[in-house]
Structure 1
Amino acid sequence: MGTLVAVHRYPVKSMLGETLTGVAVTHAGLAGDRTHAVLDDDGAVGSVKHPRKWGRLLWCRGRSGEDGTVEVALPDGTRFPAEDPELGARLSKLLGRQVSVSADASAGARLERAVPEYEGGVPDAVRESAFVDGTGTEVTVGRVAPGTFFDFGKVHLVTTSSLARLRAVHPDGDFDPRRFRPNLVVDTGEGQDFVEDTWVGRRVRVGEALCRVVVPTPRCVVPTLGQDGLRADPGIMRAIAREHRTPVFDLGRLACLGVYLDVLEPGMVRTGDSVTPQD
């Protein structure tokens, strides 16, 4: 299938994350991934899927220590432990409303998503429930996955061959994998376009971890945003919507890139590991 060439985790949901050479993968995903989130007083989880409301979270970076503690670096370079009340105060000022940082995902808090204009950006049934919120943005509302701050999948994987295909159809775009906030980037050489689609339902071993490929990953507006030195580019998602709309469960054909994985057997993964089928 390929070779693991990059590992990323995001200790605080929707903030910039960290690049690793190796990490333990548990049944709950990468150790230290999305253990914290920013919450507002209305019960919404901070997600840059609603950029007008939460986009400045991409100005911040979360890091996880070996002991599991999480630290946040703010745009001015100051750093605070996630539990420090001063961090909540600083983030409230940055975002313009009262927020706090929490590791409690037990309540299944509300998740807001801006509705994209391109076709395949949201299921038709969900689009019908959209409304314009106080920011003037058309949004839909869902919930995070039970007991977590994940939108859905525990591990997110993208392949280099799919990114190469998209560069070919939108050569002015910068398809840096970081735009798509993957956990695992797999070098598939000159493999077929969107080869990861053929892995759905199969078991794959990544280093020591055994995973099952569950479903293609529907994309939102986040890859179009300026982040981590990458410029904003609305053409990124238009290219995906043109080139790769694929069925996702019973939700219709959605614009997808990458796949979500479930973890069957925990273990270490490291850059340079082989990614191999286990059928």
Structure 2
Amino acid sequence: MLIGHMKEIVRHPVKSFSGESVRKSKIMDYGLYGDRGHAYLDESKKQNFLTITQFPEMVRYKARYIGEELLDEYPEVEVITPEGKIYDWEDEELIKEMENKSNRKISTIEYPPSHVPIGPIAVENIQLVTDASIDYLQEIWGEAEVDFRRFRPNLFISLKEKKPFIEEEWIGKRIKIGSEVEIELVGHCKRCMIITVNPDNAERDSSLHKTVIKERKNNFGVYASVIKTGDIHVDDEVHLLD
């Protein structure tokens, strides 16, 4: 059954940095190619990941892959700072800037393109949200426009029937994207303070999280596991499988 189309595909080459919207992506066993393939570690926290939770301005740093996407080696990872400077993700000047802003000692970690483990990827392989759910949340929040990037999904689906939160009814079922990829919806996405951070200016507004807690029991979006790998594209049809 046709349920919609792929509206946007987003991967995050560096964990907690702003992701890149791509026209197509390989779907690996672990999710989108290179998603959270690189991360910064907070050395003051026994090498825990440095994230937006500790350093909200991370959301204003943009990361993207530049070059051919090989299965044994990543392309170059380019970072654009909030001030518009461009660095390689491991550039010492970039790391020093982030250390000064966050008041933390930072190191780096990279995972191979063939396998990004649970850890840098939060729970399951892929996170999915729908346009109808975003639109409805904006209505009940009643504040500024709800930018879907606050929720850091990989897949943003435009529904044929605009029924808010219908994705939660798909839990336990499989969907097919394009001609190759199949994923299985496995559970709700519990939300944290990260959704309070505006992706453009890093300003925080706790009222959005309070709305999600009150109206949706702190659930928004769903997680999925990869069943069949392959390529997906923006505008691909999305089908719910029997």
**Residue by residue, what CA displacement relative to the aligned partner does 1:243-274 show, whole Å, maximum 9, x if unpaired?**
212xxxxxxxxx11111111111111111111
Q: Is the 8 A contact 1:16 1:228 kept in 2?
A: no
Distance 1:27 1:21 in 2: 20
**Which runs of 5 or more structure 1 residues have no equivalent in the other structure?**
106-144, 246-254
Unmatched tracts of structure 2, length 5 or more: 69-74
Alignment correspondent of 1:118: none
SS of residue in 2 equivalent to 1:161: helix
Contact kept in structure 1, 2:176 and 2:241, CA below 8 Å: yes
1:219 aligned partner, one-letter code = R
Partner residue, 1:196: 167
1:53-95 per-residue CA deviation (whole Å, 9 max, x = no partner) reads 3212122111112332212222222222123333322221222
CA distance in 2, matches of 1:90, 1:201: 44
- Corresponding residue for residue 129 of structure 2: 158
Counterpart pick for 1:84 among 79, 87, 91: 91
How far apart, CA to CA, are the structure 2 residues paired with 1:264 and 1:82? 31
Identity within the alignment, %: 29
Offset of 1:104 from its aligned partner?
4.7
Q: TM-score, normalised by structure 1?
A: 0.76
Q: Distance in 2 between matches of 1:189 and 1:277?
A: 12
Q: Evaluate the alpha carbon distance shift between residue 169 and residue 176 of structure 1 in structure 2; reply closer, same or farther with a 3 A threshold.
A: same
Match among 13, 16, 38 for residue 14 of structure 1: 16
Aligned to 1:249: none
Aligned to 1:252: none
Q: After superposition, give the CA deviation of every residue in 1:119-167 in whole Å (9 maximum; x if it has no partner).
A: xxxxxxxxxxxxxxxxxxxxxxxxxx95551111211110111112212
Which residue pairs with 1:55 in the alignment? Answer: 56
Paired AA for residue 61 in structure 2: C
Structure-2 separation of matches of 1:69 and 1:28 = 20
Matches within 5 A, 1:134-145: none
| Aligned partner letter, 1:191 | K
AA at the equivalent of 1:47: T
Whether the aligned pair in 2 keeps the contact of 1:16 and 1:59 (CA below 8 Å) is yes
Matched, 1:172 2:143: yes
In structure 2, the residue corresponding to 1:191 is in which secondary structure? coil
Distance 2:123 2:159 in 1: 24
Distance 1:198 1:147 in 2: 25
Residues 186-265 of structure 1 correspond to what in structure 2 (within 5 A)? 186-207=157-178, 208-229=180-201, 232-245=204-217, 255-265=218-228
Structure 2 vs 1, CA of residues 190 and 276 (structure 1 numbering), >3 Å: closer, same or farther?
A: closer
Counterpart Cα distance in 1 of 2:147 and 2:135: 10
Aligned mates of 1:97, 1:170 — CA distance in 2: 34
Shift of 1:229: 5.0
CA shift, 1:27, in A, is 0.8
- The separation in 1 between residues aligned to 2:14 and 2:191, in whole angstroms, is 19
CA shift digits 1:198-228 (9 cap, x unpaired): 1001111112311111101111111111222
- SS of the residue 1:172 aligns to: coil
Q: Is structure 2 residue 77 aligned with structure 1 residue 70? A: yes
Q: Distance in 1 between matches of 2:203 and 2:143?
A: 12
* Contact map agreement 1:173 1:235 (CA 8 A) in 2: no
SS at match of 2:55: helix
Change in CA separation of 1:178 and 1:262 when aligned onto 2, cut-off 3 Å: same
* TM-score of the aligned structures, taking structure 2 as reference length: 0.87
Q: Would you say how many aligned residue pairs link Structure 1 and Structure 2?
A: 228
Higher RCO (CA 8 Å, separation ≥ 6 residues): 2
Q: Aligned partners of 1:178, 1:190: CA distance in 2, in Å? A: 22
The whole-number CA distance in structure 2 between the counterparts of 1:175 and 1:74 is 23
Matched-pair contact (CA < 8 Å) for 1:161–1:189: no
Q: Secondary structure at the match of 2:95?
A: helix
Is 1:271 aligned to 2:234, yes or no? yes
